[in-house]
Amino acid sequence: MNATKNKTSGQPTVFVVDDEPMLLDLAEAILRPLGYSVRTFRDPELALKEFPVSHPAVVVTDYAMGRMNGMDLIRECRRLNPHQKMILLSGTVDEHVFAEAPVKPDLFLTKPYQIQELAERVRSLIAA
């Protein structure tokens, strides 16, 4: 069995990490109908604890979230799985935030993003 699929449903698991509950609900409403098992987290540290157990196909994370930002989460997820697919979202920073970083997201989306754009980006990373 592919480690990136939900053990019970066989669907690819997508983690969505954002401190805004409304944006978590929106991402879930976009991705679940497309056949993904969606796990949402307001706390990036909790997402990181669940990461080794759930083996998500893609992690979608906001940048600005308090004690741990999205780049911190990307770095820690990649430490555990160097091939982890990652999407960074932000309405406060642009791609310069990771230009010099040794670990970068696979994709970057500016908030507010288009519904179709998120769906297509997740689909493309899972297919890759």
CATH topology of domain 13-114: Rossmann fold (3.40.50)
Where helices occur in the chain by DSSP H, the ranges are: 21-31, 44-54, 70-80, 115-127
Q: What residue type is 93 in one-letter code?
A: V
How confident is the model over 46-64, as pLDDT tens digits? 999 999 999 999 999 999 9
Q: What residue spans define the domains of the chain?
A: 13-114
The pTM score is 0.92
Determine the Cα–Cα distance for residues 2 and 13; give it in Å rounded to an integer. Answer: 11
How confident is the model over 66-120, as pLDDT tens digits? 899 999 999 999 999 999 999 999 999 999 999 999 999 999 999 999 999 999 9
